[in-house]
Amino acid sequence: MNAMDYLEIKREESLLSIDACNAIRKGIHPRQEILTLIQEVSAGTLCEVYVPHRTGPLISALEGLGLNVAIAEVSHGVWRLRMMKM
């Protein structure tokens, strides 16, 4: 199995939601897979990534793509990284 198999991905018309909590808790670090998924969506797509902790390397990588990342702890142990693909 690769890291992509551990991600919960939901795609709708203008929303991409990626839940990486279980993958990260299992010791899998799907940063590249997340970046690839976000790069593949069209402009105007709202992207949300859920992680079990505030992950600096992933946030930095997303900002490196030119994205403005809004970070919020949505429940105990679940952080949401939200950005609009421009």
Average pLDDT score over residue span 46-62: 97
Number of domains the chain contains: 1
CA–CA distance, 86 with 69 (Å, rounded to integer): 12
Average pLDDT score over residue span 53-60: 96
**Distance set, CA 70 to CA 5, 16, 84 (Å):** 26, 15, 10
| 0.75 surpassed by pTM | yes
The alpha-carbon radius of gyration of the chain (Å, integer) is: 12
Q: What is the pLDDT of residue 1?
A: 73
Is it the case that residue 63 has pLDDT exceeding 80?
Answer: yes
Is it the case that residue 2 has pLDDT exceeding 90?
Answer: no
- Which H or E run includes 63? helix 56-64
DSSP for 31-60? HHHHHHHHHHSPTT-EEEEEESS--HHHHH
Is it the case that residue 36 has pLDDT exceeding 90?
Answer: yes
Q: Confidence class of residue 8 from pLDDT cuts 50, 70 and 90?
A: very high
Look up the domain containing 79 and give its range.
3-84
First-residue to last-residue Cα distance in the chain:
32
CATH of the domain at 24: 3.30.110
Average pLDDT score over residue span 18-33: 96
